[in-house]
Amino acid sequence: MTGESLDGIRIAEIPTASGHRFGHATLDAPASLNSLTLAMVDRLAAQLERWIEDPGVAGIVIDAAGDKAFCAGGDVVALYRSIRSTEPGMVPTEAAAFFEREYRLDYRIHTSPKPVLCWGNGIVMGGGIGLLAGASHRVATPATRLAMPEISIGLYPDVGGSWFLGRAPGRTGLFLALTGAPMNAADARFVGLADFVVAHDDKAAVLETISASRWEGSREADDANLGALLDAHACPAPASQLRTHYDRIDAIIGHDGLAPALRRIGTLADDADRWLSQAGEASRRGSPTSAALAYRLLEAAKHMSLADVFRLEYQASVGCCVHHDFAEGVRALLVDKDRNPRWQPATLDEVDDAWIEAHLRPRFDGPHPLADLA
């Protein structure tokens, strides 16, 4: 079924041989690389809830229009405008609403009682990884390029990144947070952000097989059936850079704190390996506040539930909207495009615990906006 596209989301359903249906939601804003707007988040969240509550729906597919990107992240230019239109030091209403509802959607995908297949082809960054990470069946393709590049725009790896990057092998999660290094399909499997590698050209065949299959409406049985179906379409993946450089990354990050780790990462800018040199350069040019915030959150998330991580990230993201670097990073990269952000503070030595705590403090009255996440 083609479905109706509204607010950047196309909704359809896939009939199956057993009489069950699969919900099929498509991010449909290819001109913006399917970057998430608040309207897209709201429509997708509402439809997911309807499918979850419908006993005739056995599973859900989330994919995207176009071949370039699944989702390039949240619409940070809209967040920038929200910040700029708000009195300094005050919480931008639109930005706070976006983070609350985006994280609520991400958490619902993580906790869905039905299988969720997310097709992560092409560019998958930031908020796109937030959608992908929680799905039960996460597909990457040979063209997949994932990244959490928030250090370059004065933010930090949010959408649960504090939780899932902290659970990546060794010190690779912190390396990704401090460098924004891109990942291919094999990297995504290595760090636990993808389960299957399938050629993008096979997506239509996968959807046809879903339609031709019989489903039971039982999570365990349907999980297994969907997994076997995707395994049958598996294809080779390119070599994993993270696996190749695993021992070196562990040594570079070390266990002696953030400042020494950043100094060692910075030396990679002159490395002969292009992937490592780009990671080193991105870290060296990134926001010192972002680096410190990412480090603090990954440390904190080691002992937190996913729901508590989303609650803390909400406070951090709103805090970033109140402080300087996030708006400045978006300005430099995406608005004025001079690629010359003026970070404040300009060095890690100037970032103290009080500054990070100021980003993390609650900025709401009454219960936490995500208090109901169980």
Contact 320, 329 (CB under 8 A): no
Q: Where are the domains of the chain?
A: 4-360
Other Cβ atoms less than 10 A from the Cβ of 209: the count is 15
CA 54/CA 327 separation, integer angstroms: 41
| pLDDT for position 199 | 98
Between the alpha carbon of residue 87 and those of residues 75, 83, 328, 339, the distances in Å are 21, 8, 16, 25
DSSP-assigned letter for residue 137: E
| pLDDT for position 1 | 45
Tokens standing for residue 269 = 């800018």
Burial (CB count within 10 angstroms: exposed 0-12, middle 13-18, buried 19+), residue 368: middle
Task: Give me the sheet containing 145-147, strands edge to edge.
Answer: 69-71, 123-125, 145-147
CA 104/CA 113 separation, integer angstroms: 15
Contact 325, 289 (CB under 8 A): yes
| pLDDT for position 3 | 78
Residue-averaged pLDDT of the chain? 97
| pLDDT for position 2 | 61
Mean pLDDT, consecutive 10-residue segments, the chain of 374 residues? Answer: 84 98 98 98 98 98 98 97 96 98 98 98 98 98 98 98 98 98 98 98 98 97 98 97 98 98 98 98 98 98 97 98 98 97 98 98 97 96
Tell me, yes or no, if the pTM score tops 0.75. yes
CA 35/CA 73 separation, integer angstroms: 5
The arrangement of secondary structure in 4-360, i.e. its CATH architecture, is Alpha-Beta Complex (3.90)
